[in-house]
């Protein structure tokens, strides 16, 4: 692991994410990029050169439009300067001796810029903070979460609580354990080895997609054997829906981290689509590491 990206909105939860990223960087020797993206609200009044009608029937002249553009530029400059101060304060708020930390403040669409940064910087891990049900404003709620987690070309670690000594020892790996999961297993195994943790493979057996325990155990054992897993357990957990089963199982074993691999929108993979993903992240205080199988 060489590069960790920490998108921040300067909330307490984002600071927690930075703190955990530092703990991971100390173990891996990775560098960290703190990123804040200033996203300006779009308005049809901006960027036009001719007179236009407003939604309320008003009239925007080219002169008024020029004034609006000027005000927008002033506002944008103030936002950038304030953001640069805040990101420096965040960087200096946590001791990170021995860890390279760079700051970046940019104006763009938040999700688009994060995705582009992941690709261009060859990011190995994204660490993001979440407040819970409300999430980041326009960041970790609704479709934005889905877009980051489902399209990221690297694992995404979502955290809430402060954990300055982040050192997970009991990790849940939830999946449907089809053949495609091997694509992510190397990354998950590396995370396990990094912390010397035990991994609890778990399949949530639901009434709508029930399979016999014998067949499921064989599938999980084969997955572990094919991927050379060490220090693991195999678990079949019955529950009404998958996300509840993951949360209940993680609670029962006092897990420090939940890992998930998905490959689409159907079956168990729908964990990372729509409200189900939000429910899982919002309803647990545990860190969640996700990886979408391409």
Specify the CATH number for the domain of residue 29.
Answer: 3.40.50.620
Domain boundary among 107, 132, 158: 158
Q: Is residue 107 part of a domain?
A: yes
Place of tokens 């901006």: 46
- Helices (H) and strands (E) counted in the chain, each on its own, are 8, 12
Q: Is residue 114 part of a domain?
A: yes
Over residues 176-203, the mean pLDDT reads: 88
What is the C-alpha separation between 213 and 294, in angstroms, rounded? 28
Same domain, 172 and 194: yes
List Cβ<8 Å contacts ≥24 apart for 112-119: 113/35, 113/37, 114/5, 114/7, 114/35, 114/37, 114/148, 115/147, 115/148, 115/151, 115/152, 117/5, 117/33, 117/35, 118/5, 118/152, 118/153, 118/154, 119/153
Same domain, 133 and 240: no
* pLDDT of residue 203 exceeding 50: yes
Q: Is residue 86 part of a domain?
A: yes
Structure confidence at residue 262 (pLDDT):
60
Alpha helices in 6-164 (DSSP H): 12-28, 62-93, 110-120, 143-151
Q: Is residue 207 part of a domain?
A: yes
Reported confidence tier of residue 241, pLDDT bands at 50, 70, 90: confident
* pLDDT of residue 28 exceeding 90: yes
Same domain, 197 and 153: no
CB atoms within 10 A of CB 182: 14
Tokens of 130: 């979440």
Same domain, 151 and 198: no
CA 85 to chain centre: 25
Q: Is residue 201 part of a domain?
A: yes
What is the C-alpha separation between 271 and 47, in angstroms, rounded? 40
- Strand-strand pairing, 101-107 and 125-129: unpaired
Same domain, 175 and 154: no
Structure confidence at residue 25 (pLDDT):
96
Same domain, 272 and 182: yes
CB atoms within 10 A of CB 220: 22
Q: Is residue 66 part of a domain?
A: no
- Strand-strand pairing, 232-238 and 198-205: parallel
Task: State residue 90 phi and psi, 5-degree precision.
Answer: -65, -45
Same domain, 193 and 274: yes
Q: Is residue 180 part of a domain?
A: yes
Domain boundary among 158, 180, 205: 158
* pLDDT of residue 257 exceeding 90: yes
Q: Is residue 46 part of a domain?
A: no
Same domain, 237 and 269: yes
Tokens of 216: 């499921």
* pLDDT of residue 232 exceeding 60: yes
Of the candidates 174, 177, 172, the one whose C-alpha atom is nearest the C-alpha of residue 192 is 172
Over residues 226-252, the mean pLDDT reads: 94
What is the C-alpha separation between 211 and 204, in angstroms, rounded? 10
What is the C-alpha separation between 87 and 104, in angstroms, rounded? 8
- What is the residue range of 264's domain? 167-292
Structure confidence at residue 279 (pLDDT):
63
Same domain, 22 and 143: yes
Same domain, 32 and 142: yes
DSSP label at 153?
A: S
Domain boundary among 158, 192, 225: 158
Over residues 136-150, the mean pLDDT reads: 52
Q: How many domains, in total, are found in the chain?
A: 2
Same domain, 146 and 230: no
Same domain, 19 and 151: yes
């Amino acid at each position: 692991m060489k590069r960790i990206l920490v998108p921040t909105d300067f909330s307490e939860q984002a600071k927690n994410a930075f703190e955990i990223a530092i703990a991971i960087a100390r173990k891996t020797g990775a560098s960290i990029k703190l990123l804040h993206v200033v996203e300006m609200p779009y308005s049809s009044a901006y960027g036009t050169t001719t007179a236009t009608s407003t939604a309320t029937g008003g009239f925007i002249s080219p002169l008024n439009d020029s004034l609006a553009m000027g005000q927008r530029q002033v506002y944008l400059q103030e936002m950038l300067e304030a953001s640069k101060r805040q990101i420096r304060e965040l960087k200096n708020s946590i001791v990170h001796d021995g860890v390279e930390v760079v700051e970046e403040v940019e104006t763009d669409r938040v999700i688009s810029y994060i995705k582009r940064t992941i690709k261009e910087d060859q990011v190995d891990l994204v660490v993001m903070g979440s407040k819970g049900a409300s999430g980041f404003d326009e960041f970790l709620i609704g479709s934005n979460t889905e877009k980051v987690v489902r399209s990221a070309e690297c694992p995404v670690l979502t955290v809430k609580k402060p954990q300055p000594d982040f050192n997970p020892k009991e990790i849940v790996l939830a999946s449907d354990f089809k053949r495609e999961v091997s694509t992510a297993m190397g990354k998950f195994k590396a995370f396990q080895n990094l912390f010397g943790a035990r991994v609890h493979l778990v399949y949530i057996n639901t009434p709508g997609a029930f399979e016999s325990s014998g067949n499921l155990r064989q599938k999980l054992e084969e997955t572990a054997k094919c991927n050379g897993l060490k220090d693991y357990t195999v678990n079949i957990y019955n529950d009404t829906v998958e996300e509840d089963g993951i949360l209940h199982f993680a609670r029962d074993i006092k897990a420090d981290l939940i890992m998930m691999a998905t490959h689409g929108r159907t079956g168990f993979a729908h964990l990372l689509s729509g409200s189900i993903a939000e429910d899982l992240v919002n309803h647990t205080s545990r860190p969640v590491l996700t990886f979408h199988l391409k």
